Amino acid sequence: MQRRSRLTAVLSAGVLLAALGPATSVRADAPVSNRASLKQDLCYQIVTDRFFDGNTGNNNPTKSPGLYDSTKANWKLYWGGDFAGIQAKLAYLKNMGVTSIWISPHVDNIDKSAVYGGTANAGYHGYWARDFKKTEEHFGTLAEFDALIAAAHSNGIKVIMDWAPNHTSPANPADSTFAEAGALYDNGTFLGNYVSDPNGYFHHNGGITNWDDRYQTQYLNLADLADLEQQNATVNNLLKTDANYWMDRGVDGVRVDAVKHMTAGWQKSFADTVLSHKDTTLFGEWYLGSQSDPLYADNVRFANTSGISVLDFYMNIAMRNAFGSGGSMTALDAAITKTGQDYKYKENLITFIDNHDMSRFLTLNNNQSLLHQALAFMLTVRGTPCLYYGTEQYLHNDTSGGGDPWNRPMMPGFSETTTAYQVVKKLSALRQTNPALAWGTHQQRWMNNDVYIYERKFNNDVVLVAINKGASAANITGLNTALPAGTYSDQLTGTLGGGSLTVTSGSGGNNPANAFTLNAGNVAVWSYHPGEPSTPQIGSVGPTLTRAGNTITVEGRGFGASGTLKVGGVTASTTSWTANRIKATVPAGVAAGTASVTVTTSGGTSNGYDVINESAAQVPVTFTVTNASPTSVGDNIYLSGSVSELGNWSTNKSVAIGPMLAPNYPTWYVTASVPACTTIQFKFLKITSGGAVTWENGTNHSYTAPCSGTGSTTVGWQY
Ligand code: NOJ
Ligand code: NOJ
Ligand code: CA
């Protein structure tokens, strides 16, 4: 309740309702260390149905009988895994060093099957929701869901829910009897379906054919999945209210499904709703087909501005190439450099070797040594590592290339002695003790096609990693490191063949390491973690999207016992202060836009860490301009306006809102997240492929955003 009264002070009643939804019982904060950042975490991705059957009583529920296959012959039916099964295996996960579990969507999925080519397909994966406010009965009751969260928290494990607001379920517009026709329910009450949609809950534009087309990806169906219209007032409210309902039940973070397929504007307003309700973290699935995906820049912009980080597909491709397909370490290093330049919050990216939508690593290359190397890399490179369930048990099924559904076998066992399990356990422990891994810079120190030696560094904390994926031993000479002079033992204790390293003193942060041999397939990890520094050093601030009255968590070293925390130069009130973590309330009066967070103690002032300070609570508004200036191929229309959310009149195409969409050229539109209850001035502009900027003429357009819900405005281009 304390949280509500603080919010009340800064929000109007209407906005408060939009942000919080109807009254729900707000539960106590989870006893996990920091929900506002995953950077020190080891995440573990679970397909609930395929992990462990902890309650056979829910395998063939009366609500939706016949969707369970006890023989596990049909890979598209339920196989029995459930919330109770995950709960039963929490000790196994905790012992491996897992600190957060991302579970497949837990909400009620369709009760019928979708029959394709004569084969029944159930929503065992969770991505075919019918009711976002109920648990799926094959996974368990609400009480079992609550019990899983409580047990996870008592093991120090966060629970990240997979939230799929892009769509409901498979629908055939010509056949209302196919599957559940995309039906949407609100806590048990039927709202509508895709075949009969008088209220406009869905888009009716057919299925995506061009996955590189910005308009198609957002406004057409993902295959035959009934595509929700998030700007519909009912849909908008349901998706936000229900997400907050689960946050109130104790969920710690959100993985947002298919973020490439919804507008960035609606998603930023969604992030604001959740982040203003609870101290938490969001990351999205923006699938990249390749490193030259035409929508890569949109993906970067989304990650940098929406308050939702992304799963690191760019690095995933690089890791699979290097360790799985014989690619070079040089290319892997180039991927780190490239993403480091593009993503503003690169440490917030979620790194992964494989997931439920691609072949498992061992299908790609059935070589356990290379898998161990890839794991060591993933656990020591920037970003939060997310391990796909079963990888530590060498799980893979190579049928037809091992993609969906063959990448989702039943968990084969729970051995804690496999080498993979031990590698993960040792490096997760290091991640939690040496902040160089969570917050530090990345520097390539020695490299050829097979050998990669890199250093992570957070001020005086240093981790040096050496990997040789080649078939022959490498003689390492001329290696420099920031590790101070001394001898360092391998943090993997020789599990992957590493030995100790002796460093002598040099200058300028380049201390020569004695020559050594790194044998084929070996990995060594050396660490230096000195005591608290005298000057404060910020490593992380989360969430990165915030506003007055919201809580931010600042992590770093040398904060001492007290001091001053400022956001954009304005002193913030703090609610807790320890040497490594401060919680503060974002003060009023900070200029909207990028704001730097600093900590000052008697030892000095820290580095600044940027967050995005919103003008106010956010609502999604669709801006349409008709009869816009004629464009040639490659030219685009953008929106710019008087608030930071609309770029403060910027004509820079990574700041102004766009590119806008023109399926009905020359009408263009875009959904932007703007401050609620606020009058905004705006205009449209053309930016040609060559970068030439032309504003429309006339006076500024004016629009007052609603205090809650969604909005829209249509104007004609002024010639
Ligand atoms: C991406 C998910 O990861 C995938 O498994 C799912 O089928 C689609 N989104 C649609 O929800
Ligand atoms: C920025 C100005 O502040 C605004 O008033 C004007 O409409 C646009 N530039 C376009 O000229
Ligand atoms: Ca069901």
Q: How do residues 347-393 score in pLDDT, each as one tens digit?
A: 999 999 999 999 999 999 999 999 999 999 999 999 999 999 999 99
Please identify every residue whose CB atom is under 5 Å from ligand 3, which is an ion: 64, 111
Which atom of ligand 1 lies nearest, measured to the CA of 225?
10
Within 155-294, residue ranges assigned H as helices are: 214-219, 233-248, 264-277
Which ligand is the nearest neighbour of the Cα of 222? 1
28, pLDDT greater than 90: no
How many angstroms is it from 654 CA to the middle of ligand 2? 18
| DSSP per-residue letters across 157-194 | -EEEEEE-TTEEEE-BTTBTTSTTTT-EEETTEEEE-S
| Ligand 2 site, residue 211, Cβ cutoff 6 A | no
| DSSP per-residue letters across 92-137 | HHHHHT--EEEEPP-EEE-SSPEEETTEEE--TTS-SEEEEEEE-T
Q: How do residues 170-205 score in pLDDT, each as one tens digit?
A: 999 999 999 999 999 999 999 999 999 999 999 999
Angstrom distance (rounded) from CA 418 to CA 579: 37
Which ligand is the nearest neighbour of the Cα of 128? 1
202 strand-pairing partners: 228
| Protein residue whose Cα sits closest to atom 4 of ligand 1 | 357
Q: How do residues 699-711 score in pLDDT, each as one tens digit?
A: 999 999 999 999 9
Which ligand is the nearest neighbour of the Cα of 681? 2
Q: Please provide residue 522's backbone torsions phi and psi, each rounded to the nearest 5 degrees.
A: -90, 150
How many angstroms is it from 719 CA to the middle of ligand 1? 44
User: What's the one-letter identity of residue 565?
Assistant: L
pLDDT of residue 176: 97
Contacts of residue 698, Cβ cutoff 8 Å, sequence gap at least 6? 718
Mean of per-residue pLDDT scores for the chain? 95
99, pLDDT greater than 50: yes
Which ligand is the nearest neighbour of the Cα of 287? 1
Residue of 103, 217, 222, 287 to mutate, ligand 1, most atoms within 8 A of C-beta: 222
Q: How do residues 512-526 score in pLDDT, each as one tens digit?
A: 999 999 999 999 999
Residue of 643, 649, 682, 718 to mutate, ligand 2, most atoms within 8 A of C-beta: 649
Angstrom distance (rounded) from CA 332 to CA 497: 22
Q: How do residues 409-468 score in pLDDT, each as one tens digit?
A: 999 999 999 999 999 999 999 999 999 999 999 999 999 999 999 999 999 999 999 999
| Ligand 2 site, residue 649, Cβ cutoff 6 A | yes
Q: Please provide residue 114's backbone torsions phi and psi, each rounded to the nearest 5 degrees.
A: -100, 125
Residue of 683, 699, 702 to mutate, ligand 2, most atoms within 8 A of C-beta: 683
**Active-site residues: which are they?**
257, 285
Which atom of ligand 2 lies nearest, measured to the CA of 700?
7
Ligand 1 pocket, residues with Cβ under 6 angstroms: 125, 127, 164, 222, 257-258, 285, 356-357
Nearest to 625 by CA among 645, 612, 606, 639: 639
| Protein residue whose Cα sits closest to atom 8 of ligand 2 | 649
Q: What percent of the chain has pLDDT over 70?
A: 96
The pLDDT confidence band at residue 154, using thresholds 50, 70 and 90, is very high
Within 507-647, residue ranges assigned H as helices are: none
How many angstroms is it from 592 CA to the middle of ligand 2? 19
| Ligand 2 site, residue 683, Cβ cutoff 6 A | yes
How many angstroms is it from 188 CA to the middle of ligand 3? 12
Quick check: 147 and 165 in contact, CB under 8 A? no
How many angstroms is it from 217 CA to the middle of ligand 3? 28
Average pLDDT over residues 636-644: 98
How many angstroms is it from 164 CA to the middle of ligand 1? 8
Average pLDDT over residues 20-39: 59
Average pLDDT over residues 144-159: 96
Q: What percent of the chain has pLDDT over 90?
A: 95
Which atom of ligand 1 lies nearest, measured to the CA of 167?
11
The pLDDT confidence band at residue 20, using thresholds 50, 70 and 90, is very low
* Structure token pair of residue 480: 């420099």
619 strand-pairing partners: 674
How many angstroms is it from 380 CA to the middle of ligand 1? 28
Which atom of ligand 1 lies nearest, measured to the CA of 287?
1
Helix (H) or strand (E) holding 14: helix 13-20
DSSP state of 32: S
The pLDDT confidence band at residue 33, using thresholds 50, 70 and 90, is confident
Average pLDDT over residues 629-658: 97
Quick check: 492 and 427 in contact, CB under 8 A? yes
| Protein residue whose Cα sits closest to atom 5 of ligand 1 | 357
pLDDT of residue 32: 72
- The pTM of this model reads 0.94
Q: How do residues 523-554 score in pLDDT, each as one tens digit?
A: 999 999 999 999 999 999 999 999 999 999 99
Directed axis angle between helix 233-248 and helix 264-277, to 10°?
Answer: 30
Angstrom distance (rounded) from CA 597 to CA 571: 10
